[in-house]
Structure 1
């Protein structure tokens, strides 16, 4: 039977619920008083409307100057804590790494685009620790020295390519970096930039980066309710799922090819061979294994090439650095041979150039991926809430004039007394003594930094030994100087494309470059351009 009392009671309850919902919604986007300071917020939005679609590092740097070394951004239902000083990063990401090593939930980047498998986005836990342990065994400081034969061969090919096609220098840098990584991970090298396997990788990374730039993908994380939109109303969800299908097929294909080669006893010793043996002892899926190896390939192919590209730009803009570097190389090495890794200890100015290149143009401006904190924490009187995104403001730290005077000047003298490797510097208990922050911090620090250090040193030293790097000239004969503040967009960045005039310093050095490559080619199969025999002392299991 109908009851007015029941009707009004139900209506009142509904109205009360609506009022509570409205009031609660107005709390979204507000910054609690005990959080780190930050820019003013708007209801529901917080600070989302203030995040630039391009070059966010410039705005993050301005906020650091305004609000200090730790500030907060309120992004819809999420809180982002931005760390903008060496001391704060040491205190939180390093010293409190037990609670600052998680990753935020990434719906587009991890769930839809990666099937939950991408190592860089993987949540902190037993599975991540297991894979991290495997990767450390592959890339630790002792083992990384055994990759020098791979690095030298790829470097000799790159030098010869620079000689023959100097205008295509970006392609040569990317092939150099990527081929070393495919050697280590899959056991095969990439003899040309146009190698179909390599092009698939670069195309896939470009699509993934474009899909996950700040924008709609981030909104799905800031307002999780948007994830319930059907695919026909959410184009980005359709694109992410399609991207995952293509990427999954590529990575699994590489992985299964390795397993087939293992069964046929034709596999080259490489990381995937070791990974296959681990799979027998601690079962994990082929999809998981494929993404571990595939994302290792992504990481190793991008940062080194991008840093070398910025180094070449710096040599154009700061010719006095190039002249001083070549003087050191000529004094220590001479003109009758190219530098080797054994010269590193005597070429401190070249080591300083490598460090300055990493500082001057950080390829991960705001850290590769955010960290997340697993429990409420307190720092300097501020509350850092459980689940907050933790951003390492790499660009802001590198461009802090109190840490690096005249930060946009490429000045290797900053590091002339710094004899630490990147790993030793990151482990220094005094955060102010750290050289740069390009490899991250805490338990999520890049495990490949030892290999990257060697690849950068060899490339920089040998390029400066063999070539002069100059600006190209316009039709009036004036130098075209690239703008050093223009960058590409994405997780990893580099300078916008520019031209360079790269020429051998003299014909004698040019002939040495040709001869070194001819001798190196003797180690390769004439048809496939793959290694005939694996160099000795490689740190992999033998099939």
Structure 2
């Protein structure tokens, strides 16, 4: 690209003639001069563009700010830069390409919500898209051209059938039953709360997607799928080490995997045919005609869906729903342990409205304002998608407060900074549900009716937002009603402290393992949990089923998948 700028065809021909006559050392010297001129010209381009864009640290030639990125939790660094430059938008260069980070709720709303028609596309993503989930995946799709926008709308419409705001109410019964099973499991094995949450979240989306529940926390499909989601989350955080360094040097992605250990096995599209196999298997089984995968196969010819698209649509529902919802519930437990004073008003409200002889249900929500505020604070305090999911990209040059945001630029919302801004959330690290109660002294104006930006923005907002909010509310309400969730006590009476900042480093972050105590609040409540949990298991019996597939062995068994997608080794 640089040679096209520097040399026309005639000049290039003259240069080739000179190089043929020159000695090897003279040719090398000429090449180095040309390369140096190319670097200088490109750096001048970067600096000129930088002068028009939001402020940020001075980029270096070729590598930009890549090697300034911190090893862990770069969103904290972006927040610090925003404060340093006293600007809600900052520009950080990943190689020769700028990324605009939005660190303020009002700016995020203005750009990504109100200007959604411009900011609904995705930029080029080497690691996550080209080498990972693929560009035909709804999450990664470009919408730069009319044809691309039309294809994206097809996928979005199909996903709305499964988890759109008009569809999710029909899932309340199964979410209610599955959360009752969680409460029952916590009675017998409270120390395995993480496994119970993962089983619950995976089972809900498995019923919606495939018509079968996940009965046991030992089911390999839970651990395998969540492990893949964690890997994907780790791969989508800006960094200065491989494989994310390929975003700085995209040409490194062209090397074959056999001689490119820095690719970490990417490029084989590990999970796609596995999810297609799950979908095809579920479609062939009788019953549960409202399962999402059966709808996809019904619409296959009408919408011209190919195998990869069926795999990605069903896989996105399965993978993302299981990881994010379970991580949110783990954060809920951490908040209960770290801020026990916030539980007392919840218990008082639940005892007054619900009582001990039944657990909360969805009809109680209007009468439980503090519990509703509690759930909102869980979603705000330590949001799972800490950098707002995948980056947006404007489909045309845009100007915001005098700053240029060029077409195709990575534009990312820093959810951490947005949710920890003292202006909207005083003392932001303190877990305080009352900040979501109207009229409370800690309540502040915030764009949008929800009061948080956990699920993204505009036309790229998380498709499963309403489903996740619905499931989180009923489960949190039930666990607050049923249990004392406290710091663990050792045999000598000392307390095992928890660290509210000890989170993973991925795009979807969750607390690292910690000990806690989970006990029923009363004997009456224990009996209610047992009764309702057993009834829920009976109600869920209709979704019993098994799959013959395991991700860990699928590619060894399926020769066709190996031929198409590689051996699946990381």
TM-score normalized by the length of structure 2: 0.85
Give, in angstroms, the shift of residue 233 of structure 1. Answer: 3.9
Q: In 1, are the aligned partners of 2:483 and 2:520 still within 8 Å (CA)?
A: yes
Instruction: Report what 2:203 is aligned to.
Output: 179
CA gap 1:449/1:526 in 2 versus in 1, 3 angstroms: closer
CA gap 1:127/1:38 in 2 versus in 1, 3 angstroms: same
Moved more, 26-35 or 97-106: 26-35
Moved more, 348-357 or 228-237: 228-237
Give, in angstroms, the shift of residue 65 of structure 1. Answer: 1.4
Q: In 1, are the aligned partners of 2:211 and 2:543 still within 8 Å (CA)?
A: no
Moved more, 190-199 or 326-335: 190-199
The number of aligned residues is: 515
Equivalent positions of 1:47-446 (< 5 A) are 47-67=65-85, 68-124=87-143, 125-213=149-237, 214=239, 215-237=241-263, 239-242=265-268, 244-245=269-270, 247-261=271-285, 265-417=286-438, 431=447, 435-446=451-462
Tell me which of 504, 507, 510 is aligned to 2:526: 510
CA gap 1:258/1:529 in 2 versus in 1, 3 angstroms: closer
Give, in angstroms, the shift of residue 122 of structure 1. Answer: 2.0
Give, in angstroms, the shift of residue 198 of structure 1. Answer: 2.3
SS in structure 1 of the partner of residue 177 of structure 2: helix
CA gap 1:359/1:4 in 2 versus in 1, 3 angstroms: closer
List per-residue Cα deviations over 1:186-212 (Å, max 9, x = no partner): 111111111132233123223333444
Q: In 1, are the aligned partners of 2:39 and 2:61 still within 8 Å (CA)?
A: no
Give, in angstroms, the shift of residue 19 of structure 1. Answer: 5.0
Instruction: Report what 1:533 is aligned to.
Output: none
SS in structure 2 of the partner of residue 370 of structure 1: coil
Q: In 1, are the aligned partners of 2:349 and 2:368 still within 8 Å (CA)?
A: yes
The runs of 5 or more residues in structure 1 that have no matched partner are 420-424, 531-543
SS in structure 2 of the partner of residue 436 of structure 1: coil
Q: In 2, are the aligned partners of 1:156 and 1:517 still within 8 Å (CA)?
A: yes
Give, in angstroms, the shift of residue 32 of structure 1. Answer: 2.2
Q: In 1, are the aligned partners of 2:257 and 2:265 still within 8 Å (CA)?
A: no
CA-atom RMSD in angstroms: 2.7
Distance 2:495 2:416 in 1: 28
CA gap 1:279/1:365 in 2 versus in 1, 3 angstroms: same
Give, in angstroms, the shift of residue 475 of structure 1. Answer: 4.9
Distance 1:169 1:160 in 2: 11
CA gap 1:228/1:137 in 2 versus in 1, 3 angstroms: closer
Structure 1 outlier segments of 4+, above 6 Å: 3-6, 8-13
Give, in angstroms, the shift of residue 171 of structure 1. Answer: 0.8
SS in structure 2 of the partner of residue 82 of structure 1: strand
TM-score normalized by the length of structure 1: 0.89
Instruction: Report what 2:37 is aligned to.
Output: 20
Q: In 2, are the aligned partners of 1:28 and 1:45 still within 8 Å (CA)?
A: no
Moved more, 195-204 or 277-286: 195-204
